[in-house]
Amino acid sequence: MIPPRSEHRPVLLDEVLHWLVPRPGHVFVDGTLGGGGHTRAIAERVAPHGMVIALDRDPAAVAAGHPRLAGLPVRVVQANYCDLPEVLAAWEIALVDGVLLDLGLSSDQLADRERGFSFDAEGPLDLRFDPHEGQPARDLVNRFSERALADLIYANGEERMSRRIARRIVEERKRQRIETARQLAEIVRGAVPRVPSHRRLDPATRTFQALRIAVNDELGSLESGLKRVPDCLRPGGRLAVISFHSLEDRRVKEAFRGDPRYQVLTKKPIRPSEREAAENPRSRSAKLRVAARSTHG
């Protein structure tokens, strides 16, 4: 059987390998498997006697990961990275040499038109990483009050037009229930003033981000993970986090600076090279921060 091909290109791959320094015999965790690009590169460097434990909340990523990574020292597990201590305990692993968290949405998820990650998808507006956990985004869009929607879109999407967007959503849902990503995207585009066509972001981007963060409790998972991961790292072991918006990056920076168990290795976030940003536009907003497990905290 031919393994399913991933459309996802791992972001900041060379930089991740440089800072995590995977070597033969090491044990690493990729807390966000996605398309498996980072996992594969790390596994190839820790082989043959090392291991990578690859986690993902998305059952589709887990199912695809098994055949894609066959033959490599990788264990694929469906789990939230904030539950890493329990995952390692189940495998009877005390400490690991490094952990990677790539917080971005994978290209494979964007290509899945049945879950609403793509703005123009006719499938249900879901946005959950695990379709069996929590509420789909369409429930929030159709149930929340105008004020609650505006607050959510502003807090999770940093969208300045949040109140106008929320007002338009409430007006439209009086006519018909909002069920698909395309419906919502068109509503948001109609609520936001027209901008030059060369603008990079689709007007719906921040609203979709806000809903996705809410239904998956992404910021809660990140805060929990940043508190729990250090106790899974051997002294000197490293945590690398790739974030894609300021809400994530701010939490990573504050955790690294405020937790004595972390020793900050990257004083400033590492950004993609001009070449990578040109070849992979989705990498443009990526920021990589790395810290080591302190021997004192």
The per-residue pLDDT for 274 is: 94
CB 46 within 8 A of CB 22: yes
CB 77 within 8 A of CB 68: no
The single-letter DSSP state of residue 180 is: B
Distances (CA, A) of 74 to 30, 41, 51, 230: 10, 11, 6, 22
Q: Could you read off the pLDDT of 170-207 as tens digits, one per residue?
A: 999 999 999 999 999 999 999 988 766 555 688 999 99
Residue 2 has pLDDT above 60, yes or no: no
Q: What is the mean pLDDT of the chain?
A: 92
The per-residue pLDDT for 1 is: 40
Q: What is the Cα–Cα distance from 138 to 166, expressed in whole angstroms? A: 14
Q: Could you read off the pLDDT of 77-87 as tens digits, one per residue?
A: 999 999 999 99
Read off the pLDDT band of 123 (50, 70, 90): confident
User: Which domains does the chain carry?
Assistant: 13-108+219-293 (3.40.50.150), 117-216 (1.10.150.170)
DSSP-based helix, strand, coil % in the chain, nearest 5: 45, 15, 40
Read off the pLDDT band of 122 (50, 70, 90): confident
* Nearest one of 55, 83, 112 to 225, comparing CA atoms: 83
**Mean pLDDT, range 256-266, rounded to an integer:** 97
DSSP 3-state of 55? strand
For residue 57, what are the contacts with CB-CB under 8 A and spacing of at least 6? 78, 79, 80, 129, 130, 133, 216
The residues with which 241 forms a beta bridge, in sequence order, are: 101, 289
Q: What is the Cα–Cα distance from 225 to 246, expressed in whole angstroms? A: 17
Cβ-count burial 62-87 (b if 16+ within 10 Å, e if not):
bebbeebbeebbbebbbbbbbbbeeb
* Nearest one of 146, 113, 107 to 127, comparing CA atoms: 113
* Nearest one of 250, 189, 185 to 222, comparing CA atoms: 250
Lowest mean pLDDT among 8-17, 189-198, 202-211, 254-263: 189-198
Instruction: Report yes or no on whether pTM surpasses 0.85.
Output: yes
**Mean pLDDT, range 207-218, rounded to an integer:** 96
Q: Is 6 exposed, middle or buried (0-12, 13-18, 19+ CB in 10 A)?
A: buried
**Mean pLDDT, range 128-139, rounded to an integer:** 94
